[in-house]
Every structure is written in C-alpha cells, then in structure tokens.
Amino acid sequence: MAKKWGIRGLVAFGIYVLIMYVYLFHLNNGGIPDSLKGSPSDPETFMTDQELLLSGEYSKIRNFLFFILTPFEWLLYLFILISGLSYLFEKWSNVTKWKIMHNATYLFLLSLLTFIVFFPIDYFRYTLSKGYGISTQEFPSWMRDNIIDFWVNFVITVIVISVLYWLIKKSTKKWWFYAWLLTIPFSIFLMYIQPVIIDPLYNEFYPLKDKELEEKILLLAEEANIPAEHVFEVNMADKTNAMNAYVTGVGDNSRIVLWDTTLNRLSDEEILFIMGHEMGHYVEKHIYIGIFGYILMMFVGLWLLSKLMPWFIRKYGKILKIESLQQIHSLPLLLLISSFLLFFSNPLYNTVSRYQEARADQFAIEIVENPEAAISGFQKLAKAGLSEVNPPTLVKWFRYTHPPMLERINTIEETINNK
C-alpha cells in the first residue's frame, strides 16, 4: 500500500510539473496591454533588448521553481513517513532520558536530511541568480549564509516543536489553542530581536553614512510626524545587484533599512520616495496589522491542524507509520499539512500585502510630491532585479507581495495626468 502511495504521489507530481511548465513557458507571453505600450510602465521604454530577454527567461525559471518546489517538499515529507525514516529517526534519538535532547536529535536528523535533499536545488538557484547578474555573492559567503540559516532555524525549531509536542501530550484536545496563545508573545519576541540579533548574523548594519541624505530624510520624517532615529543601511553590494528597502522590528527596535545598492544607484530624490513609502508603512501601522493578521492565521491554521492530523492518523496511520499524534515522528505529517495550508493561503496574504504596499506608495506620492522620481526609481528597481513587470495571474496571486511594476508605475502616471 505504501508503494502505491509513493507511485501515485510521483505521478501526480509529474502531471502537476508538466501543467505548470506549459502554463508558465507557453501560455503566458508576459506582454502588456496595448493601451500602455510606449508609456513609462512599458519595459521597452527603460530596458534594453538584452535586459528584456534576460528578464523574461529569468522570471519564467524562477516562477517555475517556486511552483514545483513546495509540492516537491510535500512529496519529500510523504516519502519520509511511508518509508519509515521518520520512525527510525525517533528510534535513533532515544539515546537520553532528557526529552529536549531526544527532540533535538530527531530534529537534527530530519533537518539534515531536508538540507541535503534541497542543497542541489538551492545551489542551482544560487548559480542561476549569479548567471543572470543578480547575485554577486561568492560561494564561501553563500555557503556561510546557508549554514547560519540551518542553525538559526534548527534552534528555533527545537524550541517550538518541543513545546508543541509537550502541549499535545498534556492536552490532546486543546493543545492547538494553548499553542496559539504562546505564539503571540513568541512571535513578537522574534520580531523584536530580529533586527539586533538575527539579521546581523548575515550582514553588517550601521547608521546611514550620508549625513546630507540623512538630514533630508529627517526633515521628511518630521513632516510626517515620524521618529526617524532608526534609519540604517546594510552592506549588500557583495551579495547582490538588486535594490531594496524595508521596515523591520517592533517597539524601540523598529527601524527602516536601506540596502547600500539602493543608496549607490538611486538619486536622493528617488531614495526619498522609497523612504516616504516605508514611512507610509509606519504611519498606517502595517507592521502591527501584519502581526495581528499573522496571529489570526495561526489561530485558524492550528485549529485546522488539530482536526486534520488526527483524521489522517486514524485513516492512514498504518501507511504513514504513525500510531499517535503524540509521537514526534508524526512531525513530517504536521509539516506537510502546514506547508499545504500556507501555500494555498498565499493568495489571501499577498492580496492584503499588495493593498498595503499600494497604500504606502500613495502616502509617498503625497508627502514627497515628486512622482517623476518615483517612476524613474521603480524603473531602475525593475532593471536591477530583472523584474517581470506584468506577471501571469497565478504568479501574481501566489508570489507577489507588492503590486507588479506595471501597476505601480501606471498608478503614479495616472496621478500625474489627473493633476
């Protein structure tokens, strides 16, 4: 029976991969509406023919990888379960009476296996990005980031999973609710320490060096009634040619971060628009709205897990080699269901995120009052990242947390025309 499940899973995955390949490579040409041709949002007006070609190729490959990797992850978890590997990992972990060490050993074996399986794919994505001129990171630096990722995720996972399975043993019916209650302070704690403990493990952060630009940002912040003492830049030029800026942290650890690539390649006027955008997130409390949304999604997700996990174990426990939800070797099933739920919640999350980003754009337009700089800045961002300005519908739904550049530039152009 387990063999049949494996074969069915492989066949279903193969059919899905074929469908996504046809959809992304043959049914979508990435064109733009005729009414926008020749406008500032038309990539032919600000990208060279070579950049247009590379952008199309790079976007299709990245989108294809995104859509096949998550189902591949599901297939891997299914294999770990039906092959008995998860059960063996737990058996091999019984080397100590200390439960935390038992869990840590099991999680190390599981994490190591998934790291090894996904390493060739991660390396391909790294070489792809470097081949298309996006990444500038050397292999030792990239490998160092991967190792840091592994250990940071491992430590957090040991804490979360140990507490989760302790709660499951203590209360088989209400564990999900108690787990949800704990996610609230834990998530806020992680967001609080992210800028000062986790992020510096990967890159060097320091206060903005350009004091003249800093003064302009401070004046803009003062106009918007925003405390702007937390403006940082980060050294990303050794890793990428792409540009970015973002808001991170909560409370007195909140900060606006600018990549040095953004500072090096955009004019002060274009940077001020980006800063206005990030200030829009601050003014409209998007970070706190995001925290509330995350907490709400965790409530729904954990409740669904509490219903789906026991059902799968009752119906397919023998095939999956799981006797009880309380056994930690049931974790791959929990991860499989969680990944499935997260994947199909992406359209909802991304829709809300795109709305917030559009609101932040509108705030920046109003406070900076330089739409021309906004348009030129967006064009440079699209060029630097070989962005797909008008992605296929499914790609937009599942991948885009920001409105596509076509929409962002066109919205600003309409603002100019309406004045």
Q: Would you tell me how many other CB atoms lie within 10 Å of the CB of residue 198?
A: 14
Give the H/E segment covering residue 208: none
Interatomic CA distance for residues 198 and 194, integer angstroms? 5
On whether the CB atoms of residues 97 and 91 are closer than 8 A, the answer is no
List, in order, residues 6 or more apart from 181 with CB less than 8 Å away.
none
Q: Encoding tokens for residue 76?
A: 């891997």
Nearest of 137, 3, 82 to residue 316 by alpha carbon: 82
Instruction: Tell whether residue 329 is among the known ligand binding residues.
Output: no
Beta strands 205-207; 245-248: pairing state: unpaired
Q: Which of 73, 90, 270, 361 is catalytic?
A: 361
Question: What's the Rg (C-alpha) of the chain?
Answer: 24
Instruction: Tell me if residue 223 is catalytic.
Output: no
Instruction: Tell whether residue 102 is among the known ligand binding residues.
Output: no
Nearest of 391, 85, 49, 366 to residue 223 by alpha carbon: 366
- Cα 210 to Cα 108, 232, 364, 402, 405: the distances in Å are 44, 11, 21, 28, 28
Amino acid at 129: S
Question: Phi/psi of residue 171, each to 5°?
Answer: -150, 100
Q: Encoding tokens for residue 40?
A: 């500032």
Helix, strand and coil content of the chain, in percent to the nearest 5, comes to 75, 5, 20
Q: Encoding tokens for residue 312?
A: 């799968």
Q: Would you tell me how many other CB atoms lie within 10 Å of the CB of residue 331?
A: 24
Amino acid at 212: E
Angle at which helices 85-92 and 99-131 pack, to 10 degrees? 130
Instruction: Tell whether residue 277 is among the known ligand binding residues.
Output: yes
Instruction: Tell me if residue 49 is catalytic.
Output: no
**Nearest 5°: CA angle at 286, between 284 and 288?**
110
Q: Which of 278, 388, 407, 413 is catalytic?
A: 278
Q: Assign residue 403 a region (left: φ > 0; alpha: ψ between -120 and 50; beta: otherwise).
A: beta
Q: Encoding tokens for residue 246?
A: 């973002």
Residues annotated in the binding site for Zn(2+), as ranges? 277, 281, 357
Residues annotated in the binding site, as ranges? 277, 281, 357
Residues marked active site are found at 278, 361
